[in-house]
Structure 1
Amino acid sequence: MHLKQQRKIIFTITLFYTLFILYFMFLAFGRAGTVEFNTEYTFIFLPDDFFRLPGLSDLLHPTVMDLVGFGNIAAFIPFGILIPLLYRTSFIRFMTLFILSILVLETLQALTLLGSFDMNDVIQNSMGAAVGFGAYKFGFRTKNVWRNIAAAGISIVVLMIGIWGSFGLVDKALTKEKGPFVAINELKDSTGNPSAGTKRYRLKIGGQDVEPQYNVYSAEGKNKKTYKYTLDNKEEMYFSLNYGIPDQKDLHGSISVAIDGHEFLSAAADYLRHESYMSEIFLQQANELTITIEGNVAMWDVGLREMKYFWN
């Protein structure tokens, strides 16, 4: 096929594909019909989870957002191939012009109320274009069109797998996860001394045998007992506890959990009855933990998990 004719075909494909993408960006999914209901411009400048692509388990049951994230990359791969085929350009120049174009389109989406300006989309679209340019460089090296297309296709798969793995590592590095469970009896109380609470013992609640693994707290035969612990202004943690009234005890008492003077959990005997409960409370920051137990209520396996990066 003559070079000039090839160029016309590529230009036509590029033109129609561009119109196709513009249609999806501005008109698809009933965007035009929702304009009259949109009253605010939406600009999202801070990326949010753009490093997360669907994992292997996600692909079996992908969510809409999984498909959108993957589609935002895949849909713009052709531009990385078609544009260099039409015009000689370096990677830096191509990506600079592409990112500027996407920024303009995202801005138009927001200003016309046909969508939003989302930095996630800019990054994902640009990543797709970069994959396409890489496929062009690796794939289009011979005069055989079909061989070039096959090589470009293989390059796309390899590059996408590379991005998939790289994004997964970055996402894991930037995502905090629950750390190991730390029983509060391993901490120091408000006097600076270790306090293990009541000695561990088996409980029977709701007809079920309960064997605490870490600790047990009760009023220790008194009407009321308060336990206080210093958490040293720890940040981002999950505080968890189990509680209930043992079967052999009368329905009398209550519990209260407060962090830095603010009560986060309160339950009375008429609510608890002879059943076991488990609560988990997220704390943004905590310095002093106060547990108050009255009557026959028991608490066990009380502790916390700090949110940590895997490399901490």
Structure 2
Amino acid sequence: MLKRRRLILTTTLLYTLFILYFMFFAFGRGDSEVDSYTFIFVPDNFFKLPNPLEFLHPTIMDIVSLGNTAAFIPFGILIPLLYPIKFVRFIILFMLSILVLETIQAFTLRGSFDIGDVLKNSSGAVIGFVAYSVSIRMKGTWRSVITMGICIILLLVVSWGIGAGIDKAVAKNPGSFVALNEWENSSGVTSKKIALLPFKIEGQKITPQFNVYDANNKKSETYTYKFGGKDFYFYLNYGIPDQKDLKGSVSVSVDGRQIFLSNFEKDDPLRTPQVFDWYFEQANEITITIEGNEKVWDVGYREMKHFWE
């Protein structure tokens, strides 16, 4: 009995060192030029339900994601083998340990504190604990081992299924298209909606559905819209109408940083209508600058929302 306990203790210590190595030294940790602490308190996903096709050509991140759960299953088996412990006490102590390790990772710049990893690591330990608790009720060593293996597989599938459901329920999705019809121009005046008259670009008839903007018979015009930190997909169409001097440009800036610029010259081959779309995360202000004979139309956005919003 004592020999068996020593073997389990040695296995636990060696496996713990193995996990610590991967947490603090593997994958080039410590070699990067990161010089700031990273703390992620909101998980980007709980569990991603794996697509079987992804396992045909798995990436390093696929393996890491799966390992965040599977690698901690043995702790749910080894610890109760060493010390009889109730589930609530086990999971509390285990989560506290993972929280400490994640914090050390962040402060030593060998990774980030990621609450998503804490949840996945703890879920792996729970799967191991439950599988062990079920298996010890079986008679015979092989029957217990087989039962434990089946339980682990089933619990992993169930966890992924539940996690995928949670992800889908709390994920943000693009809402309805909202046309931006009231912009503040360079004079500080709110733009007025003008008649949506059709025009042609390269012989293609364009009929704006929501709005249309140009330089207002000036060399250039600037339009600004405040979003107040929203997450959204932004859309606009642009081009120079036929029978106009083929010279103009359109640029888009977010919070003072230019992210898009298109210049049209006379010999530019891209004469057909173009579409610009971009995802903005927590943008406060968008500015569109139109020069020359450029036209911009059907400008709008789709805000990212939860299903209950």
- Report the TM range for the smaller structure's normalisation: 0.7 to 0.9
Quick check: 1:300 aligned with 2:297?
A: yes
- Aligned with 2:85 (options 79, 85, 89): 89
Please give the TM-score of this superposition, normalised by the length of structure 1: 0.72
Contact kept, 8 Å, 2:98 with 2:118, in 1: the verdict is yes
Q: Provide closer, same or farther for how the CA distance between residues 30 and 279 of structure 1 changes in structure 2, counting only shifts above 3 A.
A: closer
Contact kept, 8 Å, 2:232 with 2:281, in 1: the verdict is yes
- Residue 53 of structure 1: aligned partner: 48
> 2 CA distance for matches of 1:292 and 1:22?
53
> 1 CA distance for matches of 2:131 and 2:265?
68
Contact kept, 8 Å, 1:43 with 1:117, in 2: the verdict is yes
- Aligned with 2:176 (options 165, 177, 180): 180
Contact kept, 8 Å, 1:80 with 1:129, in 2: the verdict is yes
- Residue 148 of structure 1: aligned partner: 144
Contact kept, 8 Å, 2:196 with 2:209, in 1: the verdict is no
Aligned residues: 300
Contact kept, 8 Å, 1:183 with 1:301, in 2: the verdict is yes
Alignment of 1:126-275 (within 5 A): 126-184=122-180, 195=193, 197-200=195-198, 203-205=200-202, 209=204, 211=206, 214-215=209-210, 217=212, 235-255=230-250, 269-270=264-265, 273=268, 274-275=271-272
Alignment of 1:67-146 (within 5 A): 67-107=63-103, 109=105, 113=108, 115-116=110-111, 118-120=113-115, 121-146=117-142
Stretches of structure 1 that go unaligned for 5 or more consecutive residues are none
Identical aligned residues as a percent: 43
Q: What's the RMSD between the two structures over aligned residues?
A: 4.3
Q: Could you say which structure has the higher helix fraction?
A: 1
- Aligned with 2:14 (options 13, 16, 34): 16
Contact kept, 8 Å, 1:226 with 1:290, in 2: the verdict is no
> 1 CA distance for matches of 2:76 and 2:136?
12
Stretches of structure 2 that go unaligned for 5 or more consecutive residues are none
- Residue 277 of structure 1: aligned partner: 274
Contact kept, 8 Å, 1:240 with 1:304, in 2: the verdict is yes
> 1 CA distance for matches of 2:272 and 2:292?
16
Give the Å deviation of 1:66.
Answer: 3.2
> 1 CA distance for matches of 2:253 and 2:36?
41
> 2 CA distance for matches of 1:255 and 1:107?
46
Residue 214 of structure 1 aligns to which amino acid in structure 2?
A: Q
> 2 CA distance for matches of 1:279 and 1:90?
57
Contact kept, 8 Å, 1:183 with 1:303, in 2: the verdict is yes
Residue 154 of structure 2 aligns to which amino acid in structure 1?
A: V
Give the Å deviation of 1:73.
Answer: 1.2
Q: Which moved more, 1:142-151 or 1:253-262?
A: 253-262
- Give deviations 1:259-301, integer Å, cap 9, x for gaps: 89998866554389434332235374568x8877665433333
Q: Provide closer, same or farther for how the CA distance between residues 196 and 179 of structure 1 changes in structure 2, counting only shifts above 3 A.
A: farther
Q: Provide closer, same or farther for how the CA distance between residues 80 and 291 of structure 1 changes in structure 2, counting only shifts above 3 A.
A: closer
Contact kept, 8 Å, 1:200 with 1:216, in 2: the verdict is no
Secondary structure of 2:265's counterpart equals: helix
Contact kept, 8 Å, 1:77 with 1:129, in 2: the verdict is yes
Give the Å deviation of 1:148.
Answer: 1.5
Give the Å deviation of 1:45.
Answer: 5.8
Q: Provide closer, same or farther for how the CA distance between residues 117 and 228 of structure 1 changes in structure 2, counting only shifts above 3 A.
A: closer
Contact kept, 8 Å, 1:26 with 1:115, in 2: the verdict is yes
Contact kept, 8 Å, 1:200 with 1:215, in 2: the verdict is no
Q: Provide closer, same or farther for how the CA distance between residues 135 and 210 of structure 1 changes in structure 2, counting only shifts above 3 A.
A: farther
Contact kept, 8 Å, 1:239 with 1:283, in 2: the verdict is no
Residue 304 of structure 1 aligns to which amino acid in structure 2?
A: Y
Give the Å deviation of 1:169.
Answer: 2.8
Runs of 4+ in structure 1 off by over 6 angstroms are 188-194, 223-232, 256-266, 289-292
Contact kept, 8 Å, 2:39 with 2:106, in 1: the verdict is no
> 1 CA distance for matches of 2:255 and 2:18?
57
> 2 CA distance for matches of 1:272 and 1:181?
34
